[in-house]
Amino acid sequence: MSKTAVTRFLTGITTTGTPHLGNYVGAIRPAVQASRRAGTENFYFLADYHALIKCDEPSRIQRSTMEIAACWIAAGLDPEQVFFYRQSDIPEIPELTWLLTCVTGKGVLNRAHAYKASVDKNTAAGADPDADVTAGLFMYPVLMAADILMFKAHKIPVGRDQVQHIEMARDMAQSFNHLYGEHLVLPEAAIDESVALLPGLDGRKMSKSYDNTIALFAPPEQIRKQIAAIVTDSRAPGEPKETQGSALFQIYQAFASPQETESLRKAYAEGIAWGDAKQLLFERIDREVAPMRERYQSLIDNPAELERILQAGAQKARARATPFMAQLRQAVGLRNLATQAAKAQNDKTARAALPSFKQYREADGKFYFKLVDPKGRLLLQSAAFDSAREAGQSIARLRQSAGSEKDFTEVAKLAQDVDAVEIAAALQTLAGAG
């Protein structure tokens, strides 16, 4: 596999709820499709550290982790072909979170939508701006950036509500790279315009927080009931209906082929009864979901199998994360002190960009030194010394001096077109470089 051609996709899903159609259409289904494209590497993970920010019910976290893991596999994800893991199984992620925390402006986090929404709400209620805001909520974007940057992901398929987080991750990567060198890959949000947001029962975005979702793997009868609850207008059967702004139509479109969508559009124009449209929607969804439901149920009934899959996934993910984290630790200076000798050697190479003294012996048997600039141009040429030691001592004295003419006239002379000011500057540069 050629290294440069691979595009890495990464998707996280917070383990606080039961997967619903919005998750399926907006994240899971497109991600599973993307996972099969040639030239891609795909990372899917259960964002259970993020879940702790929103949820303090251990049993719910556990249940949701199981349901979401089962859901993705049932939706066709092949853990052998992708990186499928649980965030909390990768200790490098919180480790990277800290490194990023240290390069992130607090003011940047102040502007994160989720945090700002809490502050605005508190302010409107006359409460302390940070009332009930945990540091976890405040730090949410940093943890998310670590998820992304840990695996050098290029594309992050997300809904519009998450775009700001991706931009923040990008900024953090830039700050880090600016300070420590080009280690982190700058990620980009990848939004599928056609299905980014699925409306819920009430027409607002389908979301756990609005309690307007349709469960993905609920028993069919429950799904039928939920579909019956989708808000419509009061037009009677036979009256033409608007597709625009119809949540029912949009949900249908998310499952249907273009031809199927066209025929429902026609049916709307011809005045299909809302009850019949809902029946069509139920059938269309069930056609896609029914085959997955069986696999889902068998995984839910066999948590040990799920756990085995996640452990294997963690191992595969850490094969990337562990060496990369070691590289980042090295970059910021969290280093093994015993191997510093080797590093010092490298630093010497870096010093090649400084002026330097060269000591050498000529055919006359005498010892000399010269001072050259970073490009090797001669600045100062020494007189002859009888021993290397004397030449060395002379260099040492010069290094201590201010480099004015009287400091070296006895032992060396200026090269052509060089004056004492330039020597003084060169010696200062050397002294500054330690």
- Which residues are at the interface with ligand TRP (CB under 6 A)? 10-14, 47, 50, 144, 147-148, 156, 158, 162
Residue nearest to ligand TRP (CB): 12
CA dihedral 318, 49, 64, 306 (to 10 degrees): 20
Q: Minimal distance in Å, beta carbon 248 to ligand TRP?
A: 25
Smallest gap from Cβ 162 to ligand TRP, in A, equals: 6
Sign of CA dihedral 135, 50, 97, 205: negative
For ligand TRP, which is the closer residue by CB, 14 or 97? Answer: 14
Closer residue to ligand TRP (CB): 92 or 147? 147
Nearer to ligand TRP, 21 or 379 (CB): 21
Task: Please say which residue, 17 or 79, places its beta carbon nearer to ligand TRP.
Answer: 17
CA 202 to CA 190: how far, in whole Å? 27
Q: What angle do CA 277, 282, 287 make, to 5 degrees?
A: 125
Question: Please, what is the minimum distance in Å from the beta carbon of residue 183 to ligand TRP?
Answer: 19
> 166 or 380: whose CB is closer to ligand TRP?
166
Tally of CA atoms within 13 A in the half-sphere of 343 that contains its CB: 10
Q: How far is the CB of 66 from ligand TRP (least distance, A)?
A: 18
Report residue 19 CA to chain centroid gap. Answer: 23
How far apart (Å, rounded) are the C-alpha atoms in residues 147 and 93?
A: 6
Residue nearer to ligand TRP on the CB measure, 112 or 380: 112
Least separation, in Å, of the C-beta of 187 and ligand TRP?
8
Specify whether the backbone of 385 is left (phi greater than 0), alpha (psi in -120 to 50) or beta. beta
Amino acid at 341: A
Write down the least CB distance from residue 63 to ligand TRP, Å: 18
Strand, helix or coil at 289? Answer: helix
Closer residue to ligand TRP in complex, CB, 8/50? 50
Q: How far is the CB of 150 from ligand TRP (least distance, A)?
A: 10
